[in-house]
Amino acid sequence: MKIMKSDNGDVPGWVLITLMTAGLVVLIWAFAGPALEGVFDQAMSRVVSF
């Protein structure tokens, strides 16, 4: 008889990865947000001026 080991994964590891990913998204958004807003505003002004 073979005993099957339950492999539920590393829950604390996945939580840490998820929190770190969310932190990176917030950090990147903080720096890139104003630049992307400027690009969007410039593109919209060019479209509206036609």
Residues 3-38 have pLDDT tens digits of: 656 656 677 888 999 999 999 999 999 999 999 999
Three-class secondary structure assignment of 10-41: CHHHHHHHHHHHHHHHHHHHHHHHHHHHHHHH
39 residue type, one letter: V
- pLDDT number for residue 6: 60
In which band, very low, low, confident or very high, does the pLDDT at 49 lie, cut at 50, 70 and 90? confident
Residue 2 pLDDT exceeds 80: no
Average pLDDT over every residue of 37-47: 92
pTM above 0.75, yes or no: no
Report d(CA 36, CA 50) in Å as an integer.
22
